[in-house]
């Protein structure tokens, strides 16, 4: 009986470790360098911590990689290149559960806004809980966290052309 419980706990532990470590995020579309970021790649990137308020109105510290840095690494037209026809590009972020959210590029660019949208991996110094991670977009200053998409699997940049 004791061993069954131990085996059960070990299985859960192993599962959550595998879940967090096997996650990858693809970055494709209007990029010069398509990316397939592993959890290790993301762990190696520069992190920032932002304050943001969750659905219950509680303030938390979220730590992660600025989405702008990921787009920069993929060669998306950010900064000085974000002008002209590039102003009609958007970023679509996708989750394993089919949920998708959209950002315009200027919303993510430090040349346009001081708000830093991040791909968070931690809340208040802890890994995100299973089911809400391992990577989740956090948008500081947004009244509703509807764009805080969890279980992020892909990011695509496209032209919003009619």
Residue with tokens 């809400």: 132
Closest contact distance (angstroms) between CB of 4 and ligand MTE is 32
Sign of the Cα pseudo-torsion (35, 38, 42, 45, in order): negative
Q: Is 146 near Mo ion (CB under 5 A)?
A: yes
* Partner from ligand MTE, Mo ion, none binding residue 149, C-beta < 5-8 Å depending on class: ligand MTE
Exposed / middle / buried, residue 133 (Cβ in 10 Å: 0-12, 13-18, 19+): buried
Please state the φ and ψ torsions of residue 140, each to the nearest 5 degrees: -60, 145
* 133 closest CA partner among 17, 41, 49, 45: 17
Give the interface size with ligand MTE as a residue count (CB under 6 A). 13
Residue number with CB closer to ligand MTE (10 or 146)? 146
Name which of Mo ion, ligand MTE, none residue 151 binds, using a CB cut-off of 5 to 8 Å depending on partner kind.
Answer: ligand MTE
**Is 90:102 a contact under the CB 8 Å cutoff?**
yes
Task: Tell me which residue has tokens 């360098």.
Answer: 33
Q: Residues 21 to 80: which contact ligand MTE by CB under 6 A?
A: 54-55
Q: Kindly tell me which of 59 and 80 has the beta carbon lying closer to ligand MTE.
A: 59
- Name the segment binding ligand MTE (CB under 6 A); options: 15-23, 34-42, 111-119, 143-151: 143-151
- Which residues lie near Mo ion (CB under 5 A)? 146
- Which residues lie near ligand MTE (CB under 6 A)? 54-55, 95, 97, 99, 132, 144-146, 148-151
């Amino acid at each position: 009986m004791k061993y069954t419980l131990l085996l059960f706990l070990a299985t859960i532990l192993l599962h959550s470790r595998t879940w967090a470590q096997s996650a990858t995020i693809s970055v494709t579309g209007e990029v010069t360098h398509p990316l397939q970021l592993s959890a290790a790649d993301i762990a190696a990137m520069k992190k920032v911590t932002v304050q943001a308020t969750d659905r219950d109105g509680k303030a938390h510290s979220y730590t992660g990689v600025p989405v702008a840095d990921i787009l920069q690494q993929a060669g998306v037209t950010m900064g000085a290149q974000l002008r002209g026809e590039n102003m009609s590009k958007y970023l679509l972020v996708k989750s394993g559960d089919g949920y998708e959210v959209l950002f315009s590029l200027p919303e993510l660019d430090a040349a346009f806004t001081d708000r830093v949208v991040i791909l968070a991996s931690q809340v208040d110094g802890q890994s995100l809980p299973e089911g809400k991670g391992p990577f989740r977009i956090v948008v500081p200053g947004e009244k509703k966290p509807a764009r805080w998409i969890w279980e992020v699997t892909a990011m695509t940049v496209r032209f919003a052309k009619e």
